[in-house]
Chains A and B, each alone.
Chain A
Amino acid sequence: ELKVEQNPLFLSMQEGKNYTIYCNYSTTSDRLYWYRQDPGKSLESLFVLLSNGAVKQEGRLMASLDTKARLSTLHITAAVHDLSATYFCAVDMANNAGNMLTFGGGTRLMVKP
């Protein structure tokens, strides 16, 4: 059974600081997704990482994937209040019949002024 673990589960940080969210998964996969969820809202796709060493950046967020270590990171640079949300990673199990995703527990990020 595929397990996806994120840490930390909760992160409170000051504006302007940097931090990294970690996503570990238990079985082979070469597709990993990051989503953002604002309180009471739906999930919004942020990044798709498709191969070992993949790096994607959008604004103050940068995601990377190390398939050998079964690890993805979401790095936040110079955080701003608008980044406050819950961030989920999701793993697509290799060789499955469809793109069934297993989600991590989420990291709730609060950026304080």
Chain B
Amino acid sequence: DAGVIQSPRHEVTEMGQEVTLRCKPISGHNSLFWYRQTMMRGLELLIYFNNNVPIDDSGMPEDRFSAKMPNASFSTLKIQPSEPRDSAVYFCASSFRGLDSAKNIQYFGAGTRLSVL
């Protein structure tokens, strides 16, 4: 398996522009997570989907952030309008949650490094 695939790897944009980050989870996984990593705040969970349904979005910082998962193999995280304080590395992770949920290991993508100027 190719693992969790994120695109783009790097994004540089100007304040006020819309930014869309993309994620393809591991095939067969039914849970998907979006995280943000900064030096100041560490690794923060933004939103979590289970079977394509958003379960918890309490980590989404503001209404400027939105996430969708239209099907089991694709998710987007959108920031509109973007601000310099949104600059961070955004990770997508996926896992399989089943009857034997003992492990639930999350596998992370390579991340998208976002710079908002």
| A interface residue numbers (CB < 8 A to B) | 31, 33, 35, 41-45, 48, 50, 88, 92, 97-106
Count chain B residues whose beta carbon lies closer than 8 angstroms to a beta carbon of A.
24
Point out the residue from B56, B101, B105 that lies within 8 Å of A45, measured CB to CB: B105
Q: Which B residues are CB-close (under 8 A) to A44?
A: 108
Q: What is the CA–CA distance of A43 and B37 in the complex, to the nearest angstrom?
A: 11
Q: Is B45 an interface residue (CB 8 A)?
A: yes
Given A45-B106, A97-B56, A100-B48, 4 other A-B residues pairs in contact with their CB atoms under 8 A: A98-B56, A100-B33, A101-B106, A103-B42
- Any A CB within 8 A of the CB of B43: yes
| A-B CB contact pairs (8 Å), 6 listed | A41-B110, A42-B111, A98-B48, A100-B33, A103-B43, A106-B42
| Cross-chain contact of A97 among B33, B55, B91, B95 (Cβ < 8 A) | B55
- Judge whether B102 is part of the interface by a CB distance below 8 angstroms: yes
Residue B109 lies at the interface, judged by CB distance under 8 Å to chain A? yes
Q: Which of A48, A50, A99 contacts B97 (CB 8 A)?
A: A99
The answer, yes or no, to whether B75 is at the interface (CB within 8 Å) is no
Residues of B with C-beta under 8 A to A101: 33, 45, 106
**Which residue numbers of B lie inside 8 Å of A, CB to CB?**
31, 33, 42-43, 45, 48, 50, 55-56, 91, 93, 95, 97, 101-111
Q: Is the interface of A mostly helix, strand, loop or mixed?
A: strand
Q: A50-B102, A92-B104 are in contact. Are A99 and B91 (CB under 8 A)?
A: no
A99 pairs with B56, CB closer than 8 A = no
Check if B102 sits within 8 Å of A99, measured CB to CB.
no
Residues A42 and B109 in contact, CB atoms below 8 Å apart: yes
List residues of chain B with CB within 8 A of the CB of A41: 110
Give the complex CA separation of A45 and B48 in angstroms: 19
Q: Give complex CA distance A33, B33 in Å.
A: 16
A101 to B33, CA, bound (A): 10
Min C-beta distance of B32 to chain A, whole Å: 10
What are the residues of chain A within 8 A of B48 when measuring CB–CB? 98, 100
Tell me how far the C-beta of A23 lies from the nearest C-beta in chain B, rounded to whole angstroms. 13
